[in-house]
């Protein structure tokens, strides 16, 4: 079980996008035909706001049982495998920097079509499209960090009510955007 970490927030960095791309390629090399997509989620995927310097990715797979069989390939990339880690249907993995021991990447693996994928992508896309809400999120994160500077679990709990509220708005917004594009195909697809 990974232990809570101190909460370090940093200004947004393009390095996080580069790291996400590198990991996408490495995962693609080992998961091959089981891998549908690798989505960059969380605060490191939202330009303009501070974040913990840990890149969150959702590897979306065709089969969780096949992913379980591919566990050694994932671990061969340096990831630690934590199983569901409290969330049914997820496979959670962490990658720490070999030099510093600090967490660099977290994988939240789900099977294609899992509702958790939709909610994470909706939250990310909603904040990208609404910078004022992203700014509110940054303030919530700073407040949570100030209350719990040495406990990443308590930090996450502190901001969970705000995140849950915005997730509901984001899901509604995402579905309405999809409906607009379905009903008016001439507008193009922004996704």
Give the start-to-end residue ranges of the domains of the chain.
14-180
Report the interhelical angle of 152-183 vs 115-129 (nearest 10°).
80
pLDDT score at 185: 57
Q: Which residues of the chain have pLDDT under 70?
A: 1, 184-191
User: What's domain 14-180's superfamily in CATH?
Assistant: Beta Polymerase, domain 2 (3.30.460.10)
pLDDT score at 186: 52
Burial of 142 (0-12, 13-18, 19+ CB in 10 A): middle
Q: Are 62 and 36 in contact (CB under 8 A)?
A: yes
């Amino acid at each position: 079980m990974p232990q809570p970490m101190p909460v370090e927030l940093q200004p947004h960095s393009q390095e996080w996008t580069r790291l996400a791309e590198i990991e996408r390629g490495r995962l693609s090399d080992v998961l091959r035909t089981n891998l549908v997509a690798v989505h960059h989620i969380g605060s490191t995927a939202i330009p303009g706001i501070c974040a913990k310097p840990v890149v969150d990715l959702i590897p979306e797979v065709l089969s969780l049982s096949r992913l379980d069989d591919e566990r050694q390939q994932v671990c061969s990339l340096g990831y630690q495998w934590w199983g569901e880690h409290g969330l049914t249907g997820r496979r959670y993995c962490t990658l720490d920097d070999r030099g510093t021991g600090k967490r660099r990447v977290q994988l939240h693996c789900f099977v294609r079509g899992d509702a958790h994928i939709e909610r994470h992508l909706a939250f990310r896309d909603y904040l990208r499209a609404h910078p004022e809400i992203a700014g509110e999120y940054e303030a919530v994160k700073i407040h949570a960090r100030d209350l719990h500077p040495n406990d990443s679990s308590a930090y996450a709990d502190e901001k969970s009510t705000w995140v849950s509220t915005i997730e509901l708005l984001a899901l509604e917004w995402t579905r309405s955007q999809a409906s607009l594009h379905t009903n008016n195909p001439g507008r193009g697809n922004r996704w």
